[in-house]
Structure 1
């Protein structure tokens, strides 16, 4: 069993939460979540990818989230619904031990400016620093070592994990989750070369996050040089992501680990950027664009769809040959053009 709840739920109760139909004993008690392979009699498993259908016949789960077409092959009770993975996502929150919130407290080592406004039912951990004119709204959790700069706003129900840093002038919407060591509002990379050295450009904008945004650990969102860096509602940002100054990201977009977005680029709504994607500056990416992992985007994308660049892995000997051929492409193109003219 991978996850243990403080108390259980019957399959009937779980079905009501996700709009599923129960097949089999709806009174079966579920106390945790697990994979088809590892589940025990009190675990709920799910089958979302047909590649794992081979594990269904031998599962010992107390119940399985499953599609209608797989119901008859399930040897145990099932919750039948259109999207088992979405159902699993919804129910996972019931079995998350970290969701059991402690009574709101303010630790004695926290340093809170006199001009800060702290809402109701706020929990503030050890060695937290909250600057001047900060507003922390109701039901916020601020874990140990968090630093919140002057003039920030932390929206209702948000959670800042240990050692998060918000520079001055950062605004978080409601129910935002910021994971450990993320930095929001640091200076963007702005310098002017004077012929001998670099002159720093003051970054005088801020950072604004919408509601329900999640930022992974060790990610960085830079403040705007002029105006704000803007992250829309329900945007999901993985760990070790770099978002430069004045970037705008539309609602419901998701960025996987190690994505880097250069300054002043606009990402549309509902976009998906795979791990390691790099996006150059001052570009515009349309709504509903998916960019596969390790791609490099150097031009704007004006139409929805799936985009890729680069080459997949191959044996080194073959890659070395291809690299030589790549260098010859320009000359080969010129020779072909001459042949066509003849």
Structure 2
């Protein structure tokens, strides 16, 4: 009986030693610090195993003792499913305990130390362009995002046609988490769109004779296609095209027929009637009124110019014979023809000299 008691005590002592060593090991592992000498941003994907995550930190020059990192994670019962996918900024000499605590998933579905990143998209012509830029910022696949945005279910949910959907996206820089899903991204864009189109802006929309925000963005995309350098001309050009719409004239905007050609007219300086005759619903030389949707995603400032246009009677515009990017405006075709002749002579001279 005495011997059995000694055995039990011995076992308890051994267990105590083992447990104690685990605690001691966890204590020292937790105090081990990262080796990065400056702050490093790193993306973490919780679909990967803890070993793969540890390897990512080692490759990035943050963790040098992978065994200590994994041992502490095991002690804390921290698996990849309990880690938040996202972007993290690891400060120099962060101890492993703080590092793992920061990765731990919280009740909001993010890692405790997860940071937001900037998502910027400008100068996009198509939904494809948008998706490529967004996918370079957050953890989404560009093809999956494009397919989601253009799916009939999504278009129906947000009330846009396939042609109008570019109007939903207002170029800007947005703060969001790196692991934002395609659904959450589109919900965010829809909220931004709704917040922008206030009662005041909707009243201005009706006052200039347009029926929907997508029409305003469509007109803004044409204005921006005509003038992307000098913002001072945006309200002037906006009113010119509104004048044409109100008088029943075709818009006859070069950027619209260029849109029909895709990238095929890049670098072409002299545009001909053959180019303008391409049958395409966006070609405002062939079809009346506005195109079915935007030809690009113009800056919000251009949309503002459309909603607050200049007060003029212009119906025509022609590039000035210089490299300033400005235009000569005219109320009648005779004056326009004179300006057009001056520009064509200048352009021919420039081409000949080069």
- Give the structure-2-normalised TM-score: 0.24
- Give the structure-1-normalised TM-score: 0.24
- Counting strand residues as a fraction of each chain, which structure ranks higher? 1
- Counting helix residues as a fraction of each chain, which structure ranks higher? 2
In our comparison, the structure showing a higher alpha carbon Rg is 2
Higher relative contact order (CA 8 A, sep 6+): 2
